[in-house]
């Protein structure tokens, strides 16, 4: 995925399924300039990581 698409998913009012390494995630922030995204893994709010948007897969 690219940063522009990750930002569009983040800004969307629709629920769009995205995965990181086969696990469902929620995008919490997108840094378009650096191609990074902060994501919540699964349903635990404290379980966040900042990863390259290249690792995100839209379902």
Structure letter (DSSP) for residue 40: E
Q: 20 and 42 in contact (C-beta within 8 Å)? A: no
For residues 29-57, b (16+ Cβ closer than 10 Å) or e, as one string?
A: ebeeeebbbebbbeeeeeeeeebebeebe
Q: Given phi > 0 = left and psi -120 to 50 = alpha, else beta, which region is 19?
A: beta
Summarize pLDDT for 27-49 with one digit per residue, the tens. 999 999 999 999 999 888 889 99
Domains of the chain: 3-58 (2.30.30)
């Amino acid at each position: 995925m690219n940063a522009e698409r990750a930002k569009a998913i983040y800004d969307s009012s629709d629920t769009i399924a995205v995965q990181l390494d086969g696990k469902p995630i929620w995008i919490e922030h997108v840094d378009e300039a650096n191609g990074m995204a902060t994501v919540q893994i699964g349903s635990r709010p404290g379980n966040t990581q900042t990863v390259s948007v290249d690792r995100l897969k839209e379902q």
